[in-house]
Amino acid sequence: MTFARHDPINDAETLPRMPSWVTSARVEGLEDVAFLSGAALSHLDLMLGRADVPHALVRDRLALRAAEACVRVEGRPERVAELRDAVHLLRPDDLPGPAGETCLAWRHAVARPISIQALHRALAGVEAEKIAGWLDGCDPRGAGTGAPVTRAATVLEAVLAEAPRAEVTGLILAEAALAQTLGWTHLGPLLAAGLKRTDLRKRGDDLRLACHRAVTASALEAVRLAADLARRAAHLKAVAPKLRAKGAGEAVEMFLSCDAVAPTALPLPDRAARRLCDRLVKLGVVRELTGRDTSRLYGV
């Protein structure tokens, strides 16, 4: 008996798509919206369970989107390009600024498995005991139980009731509650990108309704993102054996886990790092993200 050769690129091309009835349904009631968000989360969970999805990269890009949404809520002008610069072009003695701090908080939040200690590192200005109190107090039966979106909305409401201007803290902890209840080891930000400033002022069923809608829309985008990055990652992995530069393997792993990479961050001499990035762009497996001639950033 013979078996077909495993082809990661073809596998990535056959990733499942979100059912059309989830994306096309128009419902208003809390029960119906909750049903759709559950279906969307179930499909996303199935997608994220695939080994060919670059999970760290998906999380990092979702974190960037969440950070941009939070910066917009705060009324700040920075968008994706400026956030990337604030994080990846930061020098050792530089301060990231408010927008950069928001982006770093989200990146730190998704980088490690969920724990009180990891969340405290991401939210350096918030005491670990306070974080535990918000998460445990909103779920007396213990972390990971109850309806995912309902628990996330409850955590968000509790944080904002006590600290109305702590949107980033509330959203990161709500995402942690959502991920825990889904049985995920890491945050996969969904709520932040789908909630508007006016939604964050809502309470009770109105907030839960907004959270269900946000999760449904964001899960759809996350499925598309995961499918796209799985295809791109498969192409990068296919050319990786052809790269002979010392440190190229480590560089490829960085591209497979980070939204953006500066050549100076790669484990190669500066000139060799720039040459590697240029070659990967020519091979069509990495993109230059800034459009600049200097201070460039690259990503899958």
| Residue indicated by tokens 């301060």 | 95
| Residue indicated by tokens 């480590």 | 250
Q: What is the pLDDT of residues 163-201, one digit of tens each?
A: 999 999 999 999 999 999 999 999 999 999 999 999 999
**Among 90-99, 134-143, 188-197, 229-238, the least confident range:** 134-143
Percent of the chain with pLDDT over 90: 82
pLDDT band at 278 (very low <50, low <70, confident <90, very high): very high
Q: Is the pLDDT of residue 241 over 50?
A: yes
Per-residue pLDDT at 1:
35
CB distance 236 to 228 below 8 Å: no
Per-residue pLDDT at 2:
35
The number of CA neighbours under 13 Å toward the Cβ of 161 is 12
The stretch 99-122 carries a mean pLDDT of 97
Rounded CA-CA distance 150/21 in Å is: 23
Per-residue pLDDT at 224:
94
243-299: CATH number: 1.10.10
**Among 2-11, 56-65, 146-155, 282-291, the least confident range:** 2-11
The stretch 131-141 carries a mean pLDDT of 79
Cα 113 to Cα 56, 96, 109: the distances in Å are 11, 24, 9
Rounded CA-CA distance 89/81 in Å is: 11
Average pLDDT score, the chain: 91
The stretch 229-243 carries a mean pLDDT of 96
Rounded CA-CA distance 171/288 in Å is: 31
Per-residue pLDDT at 101:
97
CB distance 244 to 279 below 8 Å: no
Q: What is the DSSP letter of 185?
A: S
**Among 124-128, 143-147, 201-205, 220-224, the least confident range:** 143-147
Per-residue pLDDT at 3:
33
Sorted by sequence, the CB contacts under 8 Å of residue 161 that are 6+ apart come out as 203
Provide φ and ψ at 51, rounded to 5°.
Answer: -70, -25
Q: What is the pLDDT of residues 18-70, one digit of tens each?
A: 666 676 666 678 998 999 999 999 999 999 999 999 999 999 999 999 999 99
Buried b or exposed e, range 169-185, using 16+ CB within 10 angstroms: bbbbbbbbbbbbbbebe
The stretch 243-258 carries a mean pLDDT of 94
Greater confidence (139 vs 28) lies with 28
Per-residue pLDDT at 171:
98
| Residue indicated by tokens 């709500």 | 174
Q: Is the pLDDT of residue 4 over 50?
A: no
Rounded CA-CA distance 32/43 in Å is: 17
Rounded CA-CA distance 215/237 in Å is: 31
The count of residues in the chain is: 300
Tokens of 71: 């910066």
pLDDT band at 137 (very low <50, low <70, confident <90, very high): confident
Judging by beta carbons within 10 Å of its beta carbon (0-12, 13-18, 19+), is residue 132 exposed, middle or buried? Answer: middle
